[in-house]
Amino acid sequence: MPELPDITAYITALEARILGQPLQQVRVASPFLLRTAVPPLSAADGKTVRALRRIGKRIAIGMDGDLWLVLHLMIAGRLHWRPVGAKLGGKNNLAAFDFPHGSLVLTEAGSKRRASLHVIAGEKELLLMDPGGIDVFASDLPAFRAALSVENRTLKRAMTDPRIVSGIGNSYSDEILHAARLSPILLTKKLSDEEWLQLYTATRETLQIWIDRMNEEAKKAFPEKVTAFRPEMAVHGRFGKPCSRCGTEVQRIRYADNETNYCPVCQTGGKVLADRSLSRLLKSDWPRTLDELEALKRK
């Protein structure tokens, strides 16, 4: 799912292409995309784009008359900049937003249709789309700590809850926790003052590094290949590969459609965290340490 750095890059690219431009029409190919009926989508036809804003992991396009088009890309949704009047053939093309100098095309890979488009009238209604998570760049350490420790959750769950922190998902939470040298399953109520500072600093610094990097790319070309897996990442998507800091093999915890990647040396004191599916299968044979893991591999 595109997260804060990805959404920021999209907005940077869109500002150069559609800000101040009239939206000629919106063509919707998938009936599942549009989630609102009032105002009608046709109300946006001919209106000029006046603002672009990030609402959590959503992109809000503000137009004349305080009308907003709000896009949520979910897991597999992506944006593309195409020539004027781009065709919408193929099952993955969901919609096109036609402007005088090009068309913004929304695609979604896979068979599940989770991406959404809302038409919103007025700032008040727009704010209701915000899940409520804090903006880490607008929050000091006490506010950050207070938000994440309202409930006693694991750091991974707290960091990826949009009601707690805005714009962070599976990818960047892995990177942040690695930078902070903290275990993804450490409970928020267990963090020391020093660990809170590590987490707060790592969150801001990691996100800023990726925002800067991706914005620079977006200024050169439209971000056509937004992905959760980038070769420069320290641990996310690097299961079985060496940790960028210490060289230890990156491990994972798998659950549902996601997985958490971490370094057992840098983050868990050498402990291998239980993987739900495999630990159920192996039970008492599940390796608890790196030495046990290596011994299991040799069998």
pLDDT, tens digit (0-9, with 9 covering 90-100), for 160-195: 999 999 999 999 999 999 999 999 999 999 999 999
CATH of 141-298, picked from 3.40.190.10, 3.40.50.300, 3.40.50.720, 1.10.8.50, is: 1.10.8.50
Give the side-chain half-sphere CA count within 13 A for 46: 2
**Residue 221 pLDDT more than 50?**
yes
Condensed to tens digits (0 to 9), the pLDDT of residues 10-62 reads 999 999 999 999 999 999 998 899 999 999 999 999 999 999 999 999 999 99
Say what the pLDDT of residue 292 is: 45
Condensed to tens digits (0 to 9), the pLDDT of residues 228-278 reads 889 999 999 999 999 999 999 999 988 766 789 999 999 999 999 876 554
Cα separation, 210 vs 208, whole angstroms? 5
Higher pLDDT, 293 or 122: 122
Condensed to tens digits (0 to 9), the pLDDT of residues 92-120 reads 999 999 999 999 999 999 888 899 999 99
Dig out the tokens for 17 from the structure.
């292409």
Contact 95, 85 (CB under 8 A): no
Q: Under CATH, which number does the domain 4-127 receive? A: 3.20.190.10
Calculate ∠ Cα 22-23-24, nearest 5°: 105
What integer is the mean pLDDT of 197-223? 97
Confidence band, pLDDT 50/70/90 cuts, at residue 287:
very low
Contact 266, 243 (CB under 8 A): yes
**Residue 295 pLDDT more than 60?**
no
Cα separation, 152 vs 248, whole angstroms? 30
Residue spans per domain, the chain: 4-127, 141-298
Condensed to tens digits (0 to 9), the pLDDT of residues 189-207 reads 999 999 999 999 999 999 9
pTM of structure: 0.90
Cα separation, 230 vs 215, whole angstroms? 15
Burial of 112 (0-12, 13-18, 19+ CB in 10 A): exposed
Condensed to tens digits (0 to 9), the pLDDT of residues 140-149 reads 999 999 999 9
**Residue 298 pLDDT more than 90?**
no
Q: In what order do the strands lie in the sheet with 58-63?
A: 49-55, 58-63, 67-72, 116-121
